[in-house]
C-alpha cells in the first residue's frame, strides 16, 4: 500500500479526471489557476494540500474502527521533485529541498506520528531502517513512479512497527523515529482540474482543487471528504462480485448492475457520522450544499453519474436533517455514534 502522496504533479495543471465522481466542471476556476504565476500557483497548491491532509488525517484516525481496511500510517503527505513539470520543479526543489524521486514531507498533520517525530515540510527522507531510498535517474519528464516505489518501501517498513528515518533538512542530516498508528487506509489527494468534483476508487480519496476551495471551513471540507470515505467504509467501490477486483471503479458497477439508487444517500448519512466522530460539526454540511448549489448549476437538480444517482443539493439537505437529529440525540444520550 502506498503512503499518502499527491498523485497529480503540480506541473500538470490541465489533468482530466480518470473516473466519474461527484460534481461538474468549473472551467473559470481552472483557468484562473493556470494564469497564476508559477510561484503563486505552487503556494496555492501547497496550502491546499496541507489543508486537505489535516482534515483527511483527522477523519482517518477517528474512524479507523469503522473502516474495512486499516494500516499503520505516519499521517504524512509526500511529494517528490520528479512529480513536477519543468516550470515548477526548480521552485519546488528550492523551497522543499527535493531531489529526484526521494520522498519529501509536504504535510505532517498536527498530532500525527510524522508530526510527533518532528517531521515538517522541507524534510527529505533519505533512508528507512538503514535502507537508502532511490533518488532515481533524474528524468526530465514528470513522473509519479519513483515516488510510488519509495512510498511502497516506507509503507512496508511502517507495517512492521516503528521506523528509523534518515532525514535531511537544508544542510543538516538527522535520525528520527516514527511510530505509526492504525488509521483508515484511504489517503486523500488533491486533483488539479478546476472541477467541482470528489470521488473514490476504493483505495484513495480524490478531491478537486475547486471543490476543496469551495469549502468555507474545515467542517465543510470534512463533509466532502467524509462522503467519499463513507463509500469506502460501505465498500461501494470494492464489490468483487460486481467488478471482479477489489477497488474497481464505479463505472464497472454501473455496467454490471446499473445505477445505484441508494449508495449516494447512504454515503451522505454515513459521512455525517464520520464527520461527527472526528470532532467536526456535521451541521456545516447543510451550508456546504448551499454554497455548492450557488456556484454549480448541476447541483441544483438530480445528478446521474456512473455508479450512482445524486439528489439535488436541496434534496440532500432535506435528507440530512433527520440524520443530524439522530446524531444530536445520540450525543445527548451518550450513545455511540455508530449508524
Domain containing 170: what range?
Answer: 22-184
Is 206 part of a structural domain of the chain? no
Distance CA 213, CA 301 (A): 22
Q: Is residue 176 located within the same domain as residue 227? A: no
Output the nine-digit C-alpha cell for 82.
Answer: 520528479
Q: Which of 93, 98, 78 is nearest to 5 (CA)?
A: 78
Q: Which of 236, 212, 235 is nearest to 291 (CA)?
A: 212
Q: Is residue 169 located within the same domain as residue 83? A: yes
Is 232 part of a structural domain of the chain? yes
Is 255 part of a structural domain of the chain? yes
Q: Is residue 114 located within the same domain as residue 234? A: no
Q: Is residue 31 located within the same domain as residue 175? A: yes
- Which of 150-164, 259-273, 274-288 has the lowest average pLDDT? 259-273
Is 193 part of a structural domain of the chain? no
Q: Is residue 135 located within the same domain as residue 259? A: no
pLDDT band of 93, cuts 50, 70, 90: very high
Q: Is residue 29 located within the same domain as residue 157? A: yes
The last residue of a domain, from among 184, 207, 233: 184
Is 189 part of a structural domain of the chain? no
The last residue of a domain, from among 166, 184, 202: 184
Q: Is residue 78 located within the same domain as residue 156? A: yes
Q: Is residue 128 located within the same domain as residue 261? A: no
Output the nine-digit C-alpha cell for 255.
Answer: 455496467
Count of domains forming the chain: 2
CATH number of the CATH domain containing 66: 2.30.42.10
Is 276 part of a structural domain of the chain? yes
Distances in Å between the Cα of 137 and the Cα atoms of 102, 110, 169, 333 are 11, 34, 22, 59
Q: Is residue 176 located within the same domain as residue 33? A: yes
Q: Which of 88, 73, 113 is nearest to 34 (CA)?
A: 88
- What number of CA atoms fall less than 13 Å from residue 289's CA on the CB side? 23
Q: Is residue 170 located within the same domain as residue 222? A: no
Q: Is residue 58 located within the same domain as residue 174? A: yes
Q: Is residue 180 located within the same domain as residue 236? A: no
Which uninterrupted H or E stretch holds 57?
A: helix 38-62
pLDDT in tens, 214-256: 999 999 999 999 999 999 999 876 543 333 333 344 445 444 5
The last residue of a domain, from among 137, 166, 184: 184
| 215, 45 contact by CB (below 8 A) | no
pLDDT in tens, 120-169: 999 999 999 999 999 998 787 889 899 999 999 999 999 999 999 999 99
Give the residue-averaged pLDDT of 28-43.
Answer: 69
Amino acid at each position: 500500500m502506498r503512503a499518502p502522496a499527491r498523485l497529480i504533479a503540480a506541473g500538470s495543471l490541465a489533468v482530466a479526471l480518470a473516473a466519474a465522481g461527484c460534481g461538474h466542471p468549473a472551467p473559470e476556476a481552472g483557468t484562473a489557476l493556470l494564469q497564476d504565476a508559477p510561484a503563486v500557483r505552487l503556494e496555492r497548491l501547497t496550502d491546499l494540500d496541507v489543508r486537505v491532509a489535516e482534515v483527511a488525517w483527522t477523519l482517518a484516525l477517528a474512524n479507523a474502527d469503522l473502516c474495512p481496511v486499516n494500516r499503520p500510517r505516519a499521517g504524512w503527505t509526500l511529494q517528490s521533485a520528479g512529480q513536477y513539470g519543468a516550470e515548477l520543479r526548480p521552485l519546488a526543489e528550492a523551497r522543499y529541498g527535493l531531489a529526484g524521486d526521494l520522498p519529501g514531507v509536504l504535510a505532517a498533520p498536527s498530532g500525527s506520528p510524522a508530526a510527533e517525530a518532528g517531521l515538517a515540510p522541507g524534510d527529505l527522507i533519505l533512508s528507512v531502517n538503514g535502507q537508502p531510498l532511490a533518488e532515481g535517474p533524474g528524468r526530465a519528464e514528470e513522473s509519479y513512479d519513483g515516488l510510488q516505489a519509495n512510498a511502497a518501501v516506507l509503507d512496508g517498513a511502517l507495517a512492521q512497527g516503528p521506523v528509523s528515518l534518515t532525514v535531511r533538512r537544508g544542510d543538516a542530516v538527522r535520525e528520527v523515529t516514527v511510530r505509526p498508528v492504525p488509521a483508515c487506509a484511504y489517503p486523500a489527494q488533491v486533483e488539479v482540474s478546476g472541477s467541482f468534483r470528489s470521488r473514490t476508487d476504493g483505495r484513495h480519496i480524490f478531491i478537486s482543487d475547486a471543490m476543496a476551495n469551495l469549502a468555507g471551513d474545515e467542517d465543510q471540507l470534512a463533509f466532502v471528504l467524509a462522503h467519499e470515505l463513507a463509500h469506502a467504509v460501505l465498500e461501494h467501490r470494492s464489490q468483487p462480485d460486481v467488478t471482479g477486483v477489489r477497488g474497481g471503479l464505479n463505472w464497472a458497477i454501473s455496467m454490471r448492475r446499473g445505477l445505484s439508487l441508494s449508495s449516494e444517500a447512504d454515503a451522505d448519512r454515513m459521512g455525517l457520522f464520520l464527520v461527527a466522530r472526528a470532532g467536526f460539526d456535521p451541521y456545516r454540511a447543510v451550508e456546504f450544499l448551499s454554497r455548492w448549489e450557488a456556484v454549480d448549476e448541476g447541483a441544483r437538480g438530480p445528478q446521474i453519474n456512473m455508479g450512482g444517482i445524486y439528489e439535488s443539493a436541496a434534496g440532500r439537505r432535506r435528507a440530512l436533517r433527520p440524520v443530524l437529529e439522530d446524531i444530536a440525540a445520540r450525543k445527548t444520550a451518550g450513545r455511540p455514534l455508530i449508524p
